[in-house]
């Protein structure tokens, strides 16, 4: 499913949840005040907080589905992450407030009224939230949204909290008045626990937490088995909303052409995406040798333009006037290996080994330069 489809599906399920949460919050708070049930009022406030969280999820889902732009070249998936973190902070505040209020009620418990109606409202809440859980989790799996999965479990936790409220109301109606306040405290603790789980997950994502070690090991093995790849190193991954990005260095034959190296990088990207679900972007660095070292052996060598200028000056100084059609440089083992390409006509008058020895002698005097090979076209 594309980003637009994901966004629309996420918005729809969130709007359905918002409508039900609004109705439940009004019913539970009203019934709680009429029946003098702190637990049901707490559960109603919980549902009202769900309404706000549904709005946050809907807003994030809308923006997370937008196409990449100049300011967000990697897309807007982290809107989901930020929304989840904000939601966790809000839930923690709500849960703490419910606990404090319920603790005060423990010292001043009151008798419930209209107990059958209170029990019916709690039962209605359980059924509604469990139905919302299944609806949301099905859509979350379909669109691969961690934010919707979190919201689905939020609905189920609401159902659990309503079960606790149901038990508390039943106990209070039978003379155990303190059970209503205890039920409210348990609801508050459940909300804080959910906030903690959501917050930890979102924080890990914001600080570029990698995928599981087992998945990285499997990916490393798969890339190492690609034909043309000599070794794999510096493999890194990170999560970006529901997507995963990766970058990797692969060592290949140093004498391959640029186009051959590119084809290998395409294979690496394809295999990586097939190996890890959700991997959307792979950056492949082709290495002619292992550069997984802080002290790179070629760090102080001249780049191509300067290296060619040094060669030209050395040949000119030695009065070596061969018509060199092309020069290819290889930066390997801490030195520059040089391939000279000369016209085939030279072989009619001069021995190939003699030409190679002459050029090798000149280049060998230059610091940082290594073996010389001569080819004739």
CATH T-level fold of 3-206: Alpha-lytic protease prodomain-like (1.20.1510)
Average pLDDT over residues 277-286: 89
Q: Where are the domains of the chain?
A: 3-206, 213-287, 304-376
Instruction: Return the pLDDT at 292.
Output: 67
How confident is residue 264, by pLDDT bands cut at 50, 70 and 90? Answer: very high
Instruction: Return the pLDDT at 235.
Output: 93
Instruction: Return the pLDDT at 21.
Output: 84
Instruction: Return the pLDDT at 73.
Output: 58
SS3 341: strand
Give the model confidence (pLDDT) of 289-329 as tens digits. Answer: 877 665 566 778 899 999 999 999 999 999 888 899 999 99
Instruction: Return the pLDDT at 207.
Output: 73
If one compares 177 and 193, the residue with the highest pLDDT of the two is 193
Q: Is the pLDDT assigned to residue 372 strictly greater than 90?
A: yes
CATH 3.30.70.1350 assigned to 304-376: yes
The phi, psi pair for 109, rounded to 5°, reads: -75, 145
Instruction: Return the pLDDT at 190.
Output: 80
Do 210 and 237 meet the contact criterion of CB atoms below 8 Å apart? yes
How confident is residue 10, by pLDDT bands cut at 50, 70 and 90? Answer: confident
Which tokens sit at 340?
A: 């000279």
Instruction: Return the pLDDT at 275.
Output: 92
Please tell me the distance from the alpha carbon of residue 51 to that of residue 48, in angstroms, as a whole number.
5
pLDDT averaged over every residue in the chain: 83
Do 235 and 246 meet the contact criterion of CB atoms below 8 Å apart? yes
Which tokens sit at 198?
A: 């959501």
> pTM to 2 decimals?
0.61
Return the top range by mean pLDDT from 18-32, 98-112, 192-206.
18-32
Residues with Cβ within 8 Å of residue 270, at least 6 apart in sequence = none
Lowest mean pLDDT among 5-9, 72-76, 151-155: 72-76
The phi, psi pair for 15, rounded to 5°, reads: -65, -40
Give the model confidence (pLDDT) of 326-366 as tens digits. Answer: 999 998 888 999 999 999 988 888 899 999 999 999 999 99
Instruction: Return the pLDDT at 371.
Output: 93
Q: Is the pLDDT assigned to residue 2 strictly greater than 60?
A: no
Dihedral sign, Cα of residue 265, residue 271, residue 275, residue 280: positive
- Report angle CA 227, 229, 233 to the nearest 5 degrees: 145
- Tell me if 213-287 shares its fold with 304-376: yes
Q: Is the pLDDT assigned to residue 42 strictly greater than 90?
A: no
CATH T-level fold of 213-287: Alpha-Beta Plaits (3.30.70)
Please tell me the distance from the alpha carbon of residue 77 to that of residue 229, in angstroms, as a whole number.
32
Residue-level length of the chain: 377
Q: Which residues pair with 327 in a beta bridge?
A: 340
Return the top range by mean pLDDT from 79-93, 241-255, 262-276, 277-291.
262-276
If one compares 93 and 113, the residue with the highest pLDDT of the two is 93
If one compares 144 and 288, the residue with the highest pLDDT of the two is 288
């Amino acid at each position: 499913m594309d980003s637009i489809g994901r966004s629309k599906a996420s918005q729809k399920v969130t709007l359905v949840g918002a409508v039900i949460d609004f109705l439940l919050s009004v019913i539970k708070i009203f019934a709680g005040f009429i029946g003098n049930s702190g637990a049901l009022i707490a559960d109603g406030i919980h549902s009202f907080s769900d309404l706000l969280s549904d709005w946050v999820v809907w807003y994030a889902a809308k923006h997370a589905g937008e196409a990449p732009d100049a300011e967000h070249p990697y897309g807007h998936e982290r809107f989901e992450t930020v929304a989840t973190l904000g939601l966790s902070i809000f839930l923690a505040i709500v849960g703490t407030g419910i606990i404090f209020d319920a603790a005060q009620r423990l010292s001043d418990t009151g008798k419930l009224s209209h107990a059958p109606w209170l029990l019916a409202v709690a039962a209605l809440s359980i059924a509604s939230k469990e139905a919302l859980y299944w609806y949301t989790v099905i859509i979350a799996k379909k669109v691969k949204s961690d934010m919707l999965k979190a919201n689905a479990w939020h609905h189920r936790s609401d159902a659990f909290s309503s079960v606790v409220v149901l038990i508390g109301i039943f106990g209070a109606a039978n003379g155990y008045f303190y059970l209503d306040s205890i039920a409210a405290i348990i609801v508050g603790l459940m909300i804080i626990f959910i906030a903690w789980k959501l917050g930890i997950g979102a924080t890990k994502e914001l600080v570029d937490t990698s995928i599981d070690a087992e998945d990285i090991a499997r990916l490393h093995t798969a890339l190492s088995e690609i034909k043309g790849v000599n070794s794999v190193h510096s493999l890194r991954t990170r999560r970006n909303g529901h997507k995963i990005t990766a970058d990797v260095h692969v060592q290949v034959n140093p004498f391959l052409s640029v186009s051959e190296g590119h084809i290998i990088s395409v294979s690496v990207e394809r295999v990586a995406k097939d190996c890890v679900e959700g991997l959307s972007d792979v950056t492949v660095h082709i290495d002619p040798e292992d550069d997984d070292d802080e002290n790179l052996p070629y760090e102080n060598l001249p780049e191509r333009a300067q290296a060619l200028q040094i060669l030209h000056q050395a040949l000119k100084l030695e009065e070596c006037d061969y018509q060199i059609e092309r020069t290819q440089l290889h930066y390997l083992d801490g030195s520059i290996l040089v391939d000279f390409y000369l016209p085939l006509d030279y072989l009619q008058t001069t021995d190939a080994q003699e030409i190679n020895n002459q050029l090798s002698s000149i280049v060998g005097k230059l610091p940082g330069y290594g073996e010389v090979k001569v080819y004739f076209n």
